[in-house]
Structure formats: structure tokens, C-alpha cells
Amino acid sequence: MTSRIVKTVSRTIIPFIFLFGIYIIIHGHLSPGGGFQGGVIMAMGVILIIISYGYNIFRNYSNSLSLIETLGVAFFILMGLIGIVVGKSFFSSFGAIWLLNIIIGLKVCSGIVLFYMLFIKWEHPP
Amino acid sequence: MVKKDSLFNVFVLCLLSVFGFIVISFTLRNYPTSLTSTIATYYIEHLSLTGALNTVVAILLDFRAYDTLGEILVIFVTISGITLLIRRKT
């Protein structure tokens, strides 16, 4: 396991990482950034939790992460289909860029955490 | 043996320099700027349609949303492939 210094520093810094990621996501249509970048920052926060506190506390959340990932793709395509229902073309604009940013942020966050968890899965036997 | 390797290296050097000359001559060519400038000015002038102030996000999520769909599907397919390959037989 990691030392007490790593645990204390990561416990202090993780809320700020999540706050910064959420800020990047929900200000994506106003300032530089967007869903992809904010999602990666939030995923780095989760990976820091996994590094400092061990993999076993996140073992049971793998299925819900893949559910978020799949629902993110489904909702993104659904948002494109809403453009057809409104009467414009596929993925046309109806002033919902912030919603697309939130969907992409959640999806990229869960996706990158899933990458990490898939690669270190067999290093930590249950 | 050494002589053969050095001959091969000289051959590769000639091939790479010919390729680099072709690429540089294509890069330094003066392209007409009318096509790109009309598209760029269209994006900037119609930015108010999208409801976003950030031009990059407006292009990625509104004018060219297929690109973002492709990015998302790349991550999705990659995770599916890794899950399929890393699966341990019990």
C-alpha cells in the first residue's frame, strides 16, 4: 500500500481536481475547454483515488461505469435525433451545447477510468 | 556485411530525401485562400446560432458534430475491444 504522505496529499487535492473538472465541463460553451477535457481531468481525480487508496474499493463499480459509458453514447446519438424531430438536420443546433458537454464529460470520465481499471484488474486479485 | 549495411543506409537516405523534397514542395505551394476563408468566416459570423461563445466547442459540437460522434465511438469501441481481449478464461 501507499504511504501516509500520498494518502494525505491526495485526500487534500482530490476535491479541487473534481471541482476544476466540473468547472471545465459546465463552462465549456463559454470558456476554453469542453466535455472531453473536463472528463479527462475528473478521470485523473478518480485514478488518483485508485492509486492512493487501492483498487479494491472501486472493484464493484466497474459495471456502473460501463453502464454510464454506454448510456453516454446512446444519449449523444439521441441528442442528434432530437435535431431531426425539431425539424432541422441531424446534429443541428438547438442551443443545447451545454447538455452535450455534460454527456460527453460523464462519458469520457467513466471511459478513461474504465481503461485504467481494465489494465490493473489482474494485478489485484479479489 | 558492413558494406552492405552502409549501402542500404545510403539508399534509405536517398529515398527519404526524395520523399521529404516532395512533401516540402507540396507544403510550400501557394494554395488559394478563398475556399478556407469563406468557411472560417461562416463559422465566426453564425456563432450566435449555436448559443456558444467558444468557437472551438461550437464547431466541435454543432457544425461538425459528426467528428465528436466519431471520437466518442472510438473510445467506446476501444473499451469494448480491451474488455474482449483481456478477459480471463475461468
Tell me what ipTM this predicted complex has: 0.80
Domain count, chain A: 1
Residue A42: the pLDDT is: 94
Residue B35: the pLDDT is: 58
Contact B86 A104 (CB under 8 A): no
Contact A111 B49 (CB under 8 A): no
DSSP3 helix / strand / coil % (chain B, rounded to 5)? 80, 0, 20
At CB < 8 Å, which residues of chain B contact A?
49-54, 56-58, 60-62, 65-66, 68-69, 71-73, 75-76, 78-79, 82-83, 86, 88
Q: What is the domain extent for residue A47?
A: 4-123
Query: Measured between beta carbons, which residues in chain A are less than 8 angstroms from residue B77?
Result: none
| Chain B residue with minimum CA distance to A119 | B86
| Chain A residue with minimum CA distance to B51 | A95
Tell me the CB-side half-sphere exposure of residue A83, using CA atoms within 13 A. Answer: 21
What type of residue is A109? C
pLDDT in tens, B10-49: 999 999 999 999 988 877 776 666 656 677 788 888 888 8
In a 3-state reduction of DSSP, which class is residue A120?
coil
Contact A97 B62 (CB under 8 A): yes
Residue A1: the pLDDT is: 67
Closest CA to A26 of A97, A78, A102: A102
